[in-house]
Amino acid sequence: MKEGIHPAYNETVVVCACGEKFTTRSTRQQIQVDICSKCHPFFTGKQKIVDAEGRVEKFKRKYAKAEAARAKK
């Protein structure tokens, strides 16, 4: 490996939105994440809707229109 061309690979603190913190190694000083293994539905068994761009509300409005159309028939 050539000297001086690789970025520094240091210990990094990863911070989740739920408050969980853990350390790993990365080229970044700190990493912010939305979901970690402590709050992810796959690991917890609980459903948690994460909606960053209004997609859930958009889906509910679309589904409500389809239900209204179906009810009229």
> What are the structural domain ranges in the chain?
10-72
Whole-model pTM: value is 0.50
Q: Which CATH fold topology does 10-72 show?
A: Rhinovirus 14, subunit 4 (4.10.80)
pLDDT in tens, 29-43: 889 988 887 877 666
Angstrom distance (rounded) from CA 5 to CA 3: 6
Residue 16, strand partner residues: 33
Give kind and range of the element (H or E) at residue 26. strand 21-26
DSSP state of 8: P
Angstrom distance (rounded) from CA 43 to CA 55: 23
Residue 14, strand partner residues: 22, 31
pLDDT in tens, 18-69: 888 999 999 998 899 888 878 776 666 676 666 667 777 888 888 888 888 8
